[in-house]
Amino acid sequence: MSDRIIIFDTTLRDGEQSPGASMNLDEKIRVAKQLERLNVDVIEAGFPIASEGDFEAVQAVARVLRKTEVAGLCRASRKDIDRAWEALREAKKPRIHTFIATSDIHVKMKLQKTHDQVREAAIQAVRHAAAYTPNVEFSAEDASRSDISYLCEVIQAAIEAGAGTINIPDTVGYAIPDEFGELIATIRERVPNIDQAVLSVHCHNDLGLGVANSLAAVQAGARQVECTINGIGERAGNASLEEIVMAIRTRHDHLGVQTHIRTEEIARASRLVSNITGILVQPNKAIVGANAFAHEAGIHQDGMLKEKTTYEIMTPESVGIKDSTLVLGKHSGRHAFKKRLEELHLDLDEEQTEKAFSSFKRLADKKKTVFDEDIEALIADEVWSLPDRYKLRSVNFSSGTGVVPSATVEMEIDGKTSTSAAFGDGPVDAVLKAIRKASKRKARLLSFTVSAITGGTDAMGGVTVKIREDGHTIIGQGTSPDIVVASARAFTNALNKLACREQTELGEKPSL
Ligand code: KIV
Ligand code: ZN
């Protein structure tokens, strides 16, 4: 059996199903390009029938990538499959991924079909997809809660119909590692034609076992793992790509398998996805958390100084975290700045480069040293921001002991200037209220997080807000050395995403 594990990344599809995490077209292309640099084998770019936005994103990613396989998700229906193929047809390596649920509860309650009807729908779907491309993946949704004999029958039929990859999802994150490993082993034993397909797994993290279940499946013979950057995804998320890949690399002695991932690109991919989606990475998150390589205890520091391997099972460099990412200061010129952009794979055209350079100069005036993370955040905030309906022209506020915090904002909305003032419990509250008034939006603030992008008292503040309006949850981000200004930017960014969503009518995804 091959020792090669295929890494199937679904950040752009399942990852995007995280509440508030929707990405626009440009953002998806940027993530896709970084995933290609990471050297993932397959990128699931979206669910083309779900919305115009998803269709366009899959099509654009399919056109842009030349090396990586691009998959589009579709239910087991001709209409879904036709639409997926339309989006994928220009891909160098297209894959149609069709699915239907096989557990009793989904078959009876959700699909309201008989088991025979579901098996027949699976066969028809795979045949229809196989008429477009030989690269067809079939998923038996909620496989881990399905009757094993029925599941094996459906898998056998799907392979006979032309599926080259069979995916076993633990859709609701219910499985326990030894049990899930056994499920994979049983499928390998009981499905007579299983050798004609790659066996894949797709584990959700509801019990915090997504990665453990995926690794148990690999030990039992699965050869494709579906995962997302930072483990984002529906509900508690999916198995995290970086944890799976680094476990496989670090414990090769025990697992005996390998991936083709360029692990040095992991940290950058993690930051990019976090910057774009606004979903922060918890500090103690394995591999990519801010504390993942921080040694606090004296005994540990002593050990590290004597011999790193005393407390370090992998190096920060191996996942792309450098000792010092200090790059530029206020005396750095255009040439050095451009070179750094190239090194960071930040693809900007001439106009964007000029804009980024001006923002960098403004930042370098306030902050002695500018780090890679500052540059990435600044570009996400000021260069790659959406075509803005709401432009924040100026923010003024006053607060302190003995004064009622107040703020005035000037915005440009659809080309017209709108100025508003408000009082608040604090300067941030006052500023957000003033923006809400000026923009005439009802958006409710659900959560507010502020973090320092790099160290030091002059660090850039990164603010993430989650807002809700008319049933839509949106995450916005803003950066500035002044956290009140960063808050205003984050709130405005969220309003622009909301406006963008209304414009493209992303709509609700069909339920999975
Ligand atoms: O979790 C799940 O079952 C899925 C399938 C569509 C693969 O995302
Ligand atoms: Zn899923």
Query: Residue 433: which CATH number?
Result: 3.30.160.270
Q: Which domain holds residue 436?
A: 390-505
Residue 1 domain flag: no
Question: Considering the entire predicted model, what is its pTM?
Answer: 0.86
Q: Considering every ligand atom, which ligand is closest to the CA of 44?
A: 1
Q: What beta strand segments (E) does 360-460 contain?
A: 369-371, 390-398, 406-413, 416-423, 444-452
Distance 510 CA to ligand 2 centre (A): 14
Residue 111 domain flag: yes
Residue 323 pLDDT exceeds 80: no
Residue where a domain terminates, one of 327, 355, 382: 382
Q: Are residues 255 and 369 in the same domain?
A: no
Q: Are residues 343 and 463 in the same domain?
A: no
Residue nearest (by alpha carbon) to ligand 1 atom 2 = 171
Helix (H, G, I), strand (E, B) or coil at 424: coil
User: How many CA atoms lie less than 13 Å away from 406 in the CB half-sphere?
Assistant: 7
Our answer on whether the CB atom of 473 is closer than 6 Å to any ligand 1 atom is no
| Alpha helices (H) in 282-426, listed in sequence order | 298-306, 334-343, 350-366, 372-378
In the chain, how many domains are there? Answer: 3
Pick from 18, 139, 174, 235 the residue to mutate for probing ligand 1's pocket: most ligand atoms within 8 Å of its CB.
Answer: 139
| Alpha helices (H) in 195-294, listed in sequence order | 210-219, 241-250, 252-255, 266-277
* Per-residue pLDDT at 508: 46
Residue 329 pLDDT exceeds 90: no
Our answer on whether the CB atom of 231 is closer than 6 Å to any ligand 1 atom is no
Our answer on whether the CB atom of 171 is closer than 6 Å to any ligand 1 atom is yes
* Per-residue pLDDT at 387: 67
Residue where a domain terminates, one of 382, 410, 429: 382
Tokens for 446?
């659900």
pLDDT: is 464 or 197 the higher one?
A: 197
Our answer on whether the CB atom of 169 is closer than 6 Å to any ligand 1 atom is yes
The whole-number average pLDDT for the span 231-253 is 97
Q: Are residues 28 and 146 in the same domain?
A: yes
Percentage with pLDDT > 70 across the chain: 96
Pick from 13, 44, 73 the residue to mutate for probing ligand 1's pocket: most ligand atoms within 8 Å of its CB.
Answer: 73
Q: Are residues 44 and 134 in the same domain?
A: yes
Of ligand 1's listed atoms, the one at least distance from the Cα of 73 is 6
Q: Are residues 377 and 408 in the same domain?
A: no
Our answer on whether the CB atom of 141 is closer than 6 Å to any ligand 1 atom is yes
Q: Which residues contact 386 (CB under 8 A, 6 or more apart)?
A: 24, 493, 496, 497, 500
Q: How far is CA 155 from the centre of its chain?
A: 29
Pick from 166, 171, 235, 511 the residue to mutate for probing ligand 1's pocket: most ligand atoms within 8 Å of its CB.
Answer: 171
Of ligand 1's listed atoms, the one at least distance from the Cα of 143 is 3
Residue 467 domain flag: yes
Tokens for 463?
């603010």
Q: Which residues contact 131 (CB under 8 A, 6 or more apart)?
A: none
Q: Are residues 327 and 240 in the same domain?
A: no
Distance 502 CA to ligand 1 centre (A): 27
Strand pairing of 165-170 and 198-203? parallel
Burial zone of 127 (CB within 10 Å; 0-12 exposed, 13-18 middle, 19+ buried):
middle
CATH number at residue 250: 3.20.20.70
Residue 458 pLDDT exceeds 70: yes
Q: Are residues 251 and 327 in the same domain?
A: no
Are 10 and 201 in contact by the 8 Å Cβ rule? The answer is no
* Per-residue pLDDT at 98: 98
Of ligand 1's listed atoms, the one at least distance from the Cα of 169 is 3
Rg (CA), the chain: 24
Residue 459 domain flag: yes
Least confident of 31-40, 173-182, 372-381: 372-381
Q: Are residues 328 and 418 in the same domain?
A: no
Q: Are residues 365 and 411 in the same domain?
A: no
Distance 409 CA to ligand 2 centre (A): 42
Residue nearest (by alpha carbon) to ligand 1 atom 1 = 171
Q: Are residues 193 and 326 in the same domain?
A: no
Residue 510 domain flag: no
Helix (H, G, I), strand (E, B) or coil at 127: helix
Q: Are residues 247 and 342 in the same domain?
A: no
The pLDDT tens digits of the residues spanning 284-298 come to 999 999 899 987 777
Residue where a domain terminates, one of 277, 302, 332: 277
Q: Are residues 400 and 374 in the same domain?
A: no
Residue 183 Ramachandran class (φ > 0 left, ψ -120 to 50 alpha, else beta): alpha
End-to-end CA distance of the chain: 33
Distance 169 CA to ligand 2 centre (A): 7
Our answer on whether the CB atom of 14 is closer than 6 Å to any ligand 1 atom is yes
Distance 163 CA to ligand 1 centre (A): 16
Residue 285 domain flag: no
The whole-number average pLDDT for the span 141-150 is 98
Residue 512 domain flag: no
Distance 204 CA to ligand 2 centre (A): 6
Distance 169 CA to ligand 1 centre (A): 6
Residue 59 pLDDT exceeds 60: yes
Residue 165 domain flag: yes
Least confident of 42-56, 244-258, 441-455: 441-455
